[in-house]
Every structure is written in structure tokens, then in C-alpha cells.
Structure 1
Amino acid sequence: MKYRGRLIAMSITLFVHTAYIIIYYFRVGRVDIMDLLVYPLFAAVAYWAGYQYDKAVYYSEKDALTNLYNRRFVLASFDRIGAVASRTNSQLFILLMDCDNFKDINDAYNHQTGDRVLQRISHILQLSTRKVDIVSRWGGDEFLILGQYKDASGVEVLVNRIQKEIRALSDELGFRVSLSIGCAVYNEREHKDLSSLIKAADEHMYSSKLSKKN
């Protein structure tokens, strides 16, 4: 969670109060001791107000359960990420992932265990990606990674790394956890916007899931 709201609120509050004390001193020729004693109180109130703002901003961008970015943040960030990729001569890619048979995990164990699985998957995705990549909970048991690459093999390495960590998670938890992953690379001729890119990744993910069932 960023500190911007708290820093701004405390800076403005303390600046205004200090300015008041200075003006009062030049008018009266003295400083009221109570004006000095209320500094900590004003600082605490400003910090609390700033914290409420920071928290509101944080949860407007993040998923409360997994601490990943939410769908809204991804949609708002696509153009910015695309501009960065263009400047660095990179290509955008999307990985769309779905936790296989997640309902069965909830039914067999409980929803708390299901939540724990989602949290552990989220942690794996965060550790497997770079800071410039956006990792989000797309909805329910679906996750999305929006990133950029210069070498196509880099995406394959990323997918293999994630699958390896998910297999290790299965061994640790004592029951099977797996992901179906669909990948799509942005191409101006085929994809006009984020929706078409996600649709392509979703089709590949569905094919992956179907091949497992077969």
C-alpha cells in the first residue's frame, strides 16, 4: 500500500498549523503552548485520514484475497504497458490461467482450503514474474499475466517455471493442483484491443483444459 495519501494529508495539516502559529506569533508576540501541544493530535488525525484514502486507492486496484491486481487495474493499464513495450521494442503477451477442478477442491476440503490454494497460486505467479509484469486475479479461480518480452522463448520459460512450482505445490498440499494456461501475443493485424487478445488466450486455455480431460 502506498503512502501518498498519508504524506499529503500530514504535510498539508502540519504546514497549515505551523503557518497559523507563525501568523499568531507576529500578531500577538507570543506562542500559545496549546498550539504546540496539539501538533501530535493533528498529525494523528491527518495520518488516519490519509490512511483511509490510501486504503481506498489500494483496494480499488487490488484483490482483497490474493493481493494481486484486479481486472479493473489491468483494463486501465493496458495502453500504458503497450506504450512501454513499443518504446523498448518489446511485444506484449498475455497468459490466462484457470485452476483445474477448483470446485472439486472446495467440495472435497472446504472453502478455506480453496482460498488458501488461490493465495498460494498467486504467490507463485508473483515470484515467477518480473516487476514490470502485471499479475492479476481475473475472476474466481482465473488469473492473468500481462507482460512484455523480446525473446519468444522467454514466455515458454515462464510457463514452464509456473507449472513446475504448481506441481511442487501439489506435493506440499497433498492433493492435485494444476493450471490450464493459454497464451496470446499481441499482433496489430489480429488484435485491435485487449479484449481480442484475452479472447485468443482464453481459446488456447480452453484447448489446454480440454486436452487434459481427453
Structure 2
Amino acid sequence: MRYNGRIIALSIVGLFNVMRYFYYHQYLDVPFKADFFILTSFFLIIAYWGGKQFDRVKYFSEKDPLTDTFNRRTIERFFQKTTKVCDKNGKSLGVILIDINDFKGINDTYGHHKGDELLTEIAARLKKSVEKKDLVARWGGDEFLILVPDCTDHFRVEYINNLHQAFEEKSDSFPSISASIGFSIYPEDGLSFQGLIQKADEAMYKHKKTRCTQAG
């Protein structure tokens, strides 16, 4: 959760009290008293509380509370904004869809609480694996989505391989974790967000089917 609301609220109240001080004590010659600090402290506490409520509302409007990744609404808004930059600068945008393999089995075997722990751990791994400019979102259930602005030539192989390696890391709680990954690229594979999602989804299930065939 960011502190923007609290910082802005405290700054406004702080500026207001500086102006109040100069107005009463410098221009009107009102004697300076200790209650000035008492009132200022009270105003700052109220400002901090109000700013915190704003930060909480903004956080829950943008993030998935379980995994601390972005939600659908935020990712769709980011897509629209980023594609305009891509069109202007001749860049590409990568859309990656990730589905956790055998997630239902984990829920059925260990319980939904353990499933939530797995989602949280995977979200942390993904955020650690991507670059700062990339956005990780929980797309729904056991699916995650990543938007990669200005994706370069290494995206198709190196970037995707790094994501697979993230699932191969050892875990005390979950000895075996794997995922099926599919991707599409704007504007090469389509112009609409839903069209790119569909392309990535098709590639993801093709990867899942290949994995099942190899396992069999």
C-alpha cells in the first residue's frame, strides 16, 4: 500500500498551519500560545487518518488482496494506456497468461487454505522474476497475467524460460509446482486486449496439452 494519500493530506494540513501561524501571529499580532501545537497535532492526526483511508480504498481498487498483485480492472486500464505509447514509438507489448498445473488437486488434497498459500507464493515468485516496468496480475482463480511493455527479441525464449525457472525453485511447503504458460504480442498477434488474451490462452492450453502428453 502506498502513502500518497497520507503524504498529500499531511502536506496540505502542514501548509495550512504555516499560513495560519503567519496570519495570526505575524499580521494580526496575536500572542503565540502553546495550544497552536495542540491544534496542529490534532489536525495532522485527522489528516493522516483521512489520507490512510484514501490509500486503503485506492489499494483495494487496484490490487488483489490475497496475492498483492494487480486486478483485472487495473491491468486492462494499463493495457489501453501502454498500447498508445507502443503505437507512438513503434514498440511491442507482451501478454503472458499463466495457469498453475493441478491446482484443484492441491485444494482437494490439502485444503483451500493451502491453496491460498500457494497462490501467494507464486505471486511473490513472479514479481521477483519480472522487471520493474512489468505488471503482474491475478487474472482469476489459479491464473496470472503479466504485461511486458517494450518487449524485446529475448521475450519469446529467455523471458518465458525465466518464468518457468521461477516455478522450479524448491519450496518446503510445495515440493512440486509447475505451470502452463502462453503468450501473445501486441500488435503482432492482435490489437484488442480480448483478442490477445484469447491468443495467449490458446497457446497456454497447447502447452498444457503437450505437457500431459509427455507425462503420459
> What is the TM-score when the length of structure 1 is the normalising length?
0.89
Is 1:89–1:150's contact at 8 Å kept on the other side of the alignment? no
Unmatched 5+ stretches in structure 1 = none
Which residue is 1:164 aligned to?
A: 165
Structure 2 letter corresponding to 1:206: Y
Q: Verify: 1:211 aligned to 2:214, yes or no.
A: no
Is 2:126–2:166's contact at 8 Å kept on the other side of the alignment? no
Distance 1:27 1:174, change over 3 A: closer
Q: Deviations over 1:94-113 (max 9, x none)?
A: 11011112111011112221
Distance 1:90 1:175, change over 3 A: same
Structure 2 letter corresponding to 1:6: R
Q: How far off its partner does 1:87 sit?
A: 4.9
Other structure's SS at 1:173 match? coil
> What is the TM-score when the length of structure 2 is the normalising length?
0.88
- Separation in 1 of the partners of 2:151 and 2:201? 23
Which residue is 1:113 aligned to?
A: 114
Q: Deviations over 1:170-211 (max 9, x none)?
A: x643543211111111236x5231111111101111222222
Distance 1:106 1:150, change over 3 A: closer
Which residue is 1:57 aligned to?
A: 58
Q: How far off its partner does 1:73 sit?
A: 0.6
- Separation in 2 of the partners of 1:28 and 1:53? 37
RMSD: 2.0
Is 2:98–2:204's contact at 8 Å kept on the other side of the alignment? yes
Distance 1:87 1:172, change over 3 A: farther
- What are the within-5 Å matches in structure 2 for residues 63-82 of structure 1? 63-82=64-83
Which residue is 1:135 aligned to?
A: 136
- Separation in 1 of the partners of 2:199 and 2:175? 31
Distance 1:3 1:174, change over 3 A: closer
Other structure's SS at 1:31 match? coil
Q: How many residues align?
A: 212
Which residue is 1:194 aligned to?
A: 193
Which residue is 2:181 aligned to?
A: 181
